Amino acid sequence: MKKIIFLFLLAWINVNAQKELWGVNDGDYVNVPGFPFNYGKIVKFDINGENSEVMHDFDSIQGYRPLGRLFLASNGKLYGTAVVGGETGPVVTIANAGVLFEYDLILNKYRVVHYFGSDNIGYTTPEIGVIEPTPGILCGATLNRIYNYDIVTESMTFSNPLLYQNIVTGELMKASNGYIYGVSYGGYCQNITSPLPYLGNIIKYDIVTNNVSFAHSITCPQRELKGAGPRNQLVEASIGKLYGTCRSGGINEFNDPDNLKGGTLFEYNIDTDAYTKKIDFDFPTIGAYPLNLVIGDNAKIYGICEEGGASQSCDPTNNFGTLYEYTADTNVLEVKQYLNLCTTPIRYPQFLMRTSNGHFIGIAVDGNIFKYDAVTNVITYISTFYKPLNLIEICRKPSYHFFDVDTFTPCVNSPFTFDVQNTNASSYTWKKDGEIVPMQTTGVLTISNSTASDSGNYTCEMVNECGTTVTMVLHVNVGCLGIDEMAAYNKLITLYPNPAQDVMNIKLPENGNLKIEGYTISNMLGQAVFISKDNNARINTANFAAGLYNVVLQTDKGNWLGKFIKE
């Protein structure tokens, strides 16, 4: 029995080791000397929100400033949006209008699949992520249009525009009746010329007919009665009943017109179209400015307020937000945590999610992560250098780097190694021409003394608890017939940014068979201005004079020649 328990525990640990949290941050755009602009990043963490790693850096060419949540589609790839960028779309009508992107979790490759500026003047600026209500079809929204993207055909269709001054402000969701729902915010009560000065709407979208309508609208006189400014994804806590929050409005904001700190929690019945305000938030006790909701155990709903809540004895002048539990059946809201700087540096929560291990993961205003255990009612602070806006959980199958070079010609009697660069597989099986290669049980193919019999087409089958990945084919031709291996790499090495200001980076092929052994930088007169035997791919150019420079990169496969401009 003890062995069975141990094996079960080991299997549970391995499964959870493959589960990761992925998110985006939107950059800071501060020009720090020696560092490039931060246009935003895709970042991953372990299941506990620790051990962060940057997986992609956004740029102005292929989209930047991602705001929406990532989504794991049925094809095993991540999809997301960036609000701006996309200067090089195929038919750009409006440059920098945002993009829909794809991230391949197996090959760790980023790709823009749609440039929003190439469509029409109104089809721009996607501030939310996507969902997959129908297999193979992603659904999201620009500022005022819902769109469908076909993963297979890579085609995009748009709905009719929303009404005047309406902005989609939260990810969409598919309800139990088959329709897609979301929220929008639009219009200002002060603008009496606006034909529809709504303070918020529940959007209903029929993916079959491509028709979008308002299932419910909040008019200006209803601010106190219903709330105003719904901003987040709706949740279906029980069949037929959607729940959401309005960031402002409600009775408590009405009673405190100077501070305007309130908000509401509402219920929408998709069968009767009935909208019911359930909770009025207030600043001093349960908090104000409510954000997204998360479903917990026993249909309980958990949420956060960005500000407010009871002040703490160590800091009585500040109210840094709350984490609460709401029971729909009894309409009871209970504050579980008053956030403060007394015990943990967590303030102004911005986002909340629940992981498969039962914990809640939150993100504070400074981007730091916290974990909440609803059973023990304990909150734990987790610091992180990379500040995510939001997170999703994925179970990632074994990954590897795309083979920029897939054909090699080692010499007879020489060693040959090839690393697929995997870190998350539990077993490896190498095959040559479909047959298992004995004694090759790691992610590195190792041939000590190459012979003609080692020639063939190799693949590596990698397995973990999330699935199986088979790599692309690696072609090995033993012979060494005077073929210059460096020639295969010449077009794959790049310098960026180019022109450079303070820093220039050397981008090598993603497979690690090429190693830097040094480099020489010279001006156009042939005078060497910098010589290094370092293997660092990041060069400080801050002290270089403006002009054109040559680079001779020494590698273990030969030399590479390049040029860059110093601004």
Name the β-bridge partners of 280.
264
Q: What is the pLDDT of residues 338-381, one digit of tens each?
A: 987 776 778 899 999 999 999 999 999 877 899 999 999 999 98
As a dihedral over the C-alpha atoms of residue 459, residue 465, residue 467, residue 470, rounded to 10 degrees, the angle is: -10
Whether the domain at 407-476 and the domain at 489-566 fall into the same CATH topology: yes
Q: How many Å apart are CA 473 and CA 12, to the nearest integer?
A: 32
Residue 92, pLDDT > 60, answer: no
pLDDT tier at 567 (50, 70, 90 boundaries)? confident
Q: Please give the CATH superfamily to which domain 407-476 belongs.
A: Immunoglobulins (2.60.40.10)
Task: State the DSSP H helix or E strand holding residue 11, giving kind and residue range, or none if neither.
Answer: helix 2-18
Biggest CA-to-CA distance, the chain: 85
Classified by CATH at the fold level, domain 489-566 comes out as: Immunoglobulin-like (2.60.40)
In Å, how far are 199, 214, 228 from 272, measured between CA atoms? 22, 14, 21
Nearest residue to 114 (alpha-carbon basis) of 140, 131, 144, 89: 89
For the whole model, what pTM was predicted? Answer: 0.80
Average pLDDT over residues 536-549: 81
Q: Cβ distance 112 to 86 under 8 Å?
A: yes
Q: What is the pLDDT of residues 199-256, one digit of tens each?
A: 889 999 999 999 998 899 888 878 888 988 898 999 999 999 999 999 988 988 766 5
Residue 121's SS3 state is coil
What pLDDT is attached to residue 11? 39
Q: Which residue has the higher pLDDT, 484 or 211?
A: 211
Name the β-bridge partners of 290.
305
What pLDDT is attached to residue 15? 45
Nearest residue to 479 (alpha-carbon basis) of 558, 405, 556, 408: 408
pLDDT tier at 561 (50, 70, 90 boundaries)? confident
Q: What is the pLDDT of residues 157-210, one digit of tens each?
A: 988 776 556 788 889 999 999 999 999 886 566 554 444 557 889 999 999 999
- Tell me what percent of the residues of the chain surpass a pLDDT of 70: 85
**Token pair in block for residue 39:** 């246009």
The mean of the pLDDT values for the chain is 84
Residue 496, pLDDT > 90, answer: no
User: DSSP per residue over 298-354, as a string?
Assistant: GG-EEEEEEEBS--BTTBTT--B-EEEEEETTTTEEEEEEE--SSSS---SEEEEEE
What pLDDT is attached to residue 551? 86
Residue 36, pLDDT > 60, answer: no
Task: State the DSSP H helix or E strand holding residue 13, giving kind and residue range, or none if neither.
Answer: helix 2-18
Nearest residue to 352 (alpha-carbon basis) of 330, 326, 332, 318: 326
**Token pair in block for residue 205:** 């979208």
Q: How many Å apart are CA 127 and CA 122, to the nearest integer?
A: 14
Q: How far, in whole angstroms, is CA 480 from its chain's centroid?
A: 44
pLDDT tier at 13 (50, 70, 90 boundaries)? very low
Written as one letter, the residue type at 223 is R
**Token pair in block for residue 55:** 């997986």
Q: Where are the domains of the chain?
A: 20-133, 407-476, 489-566
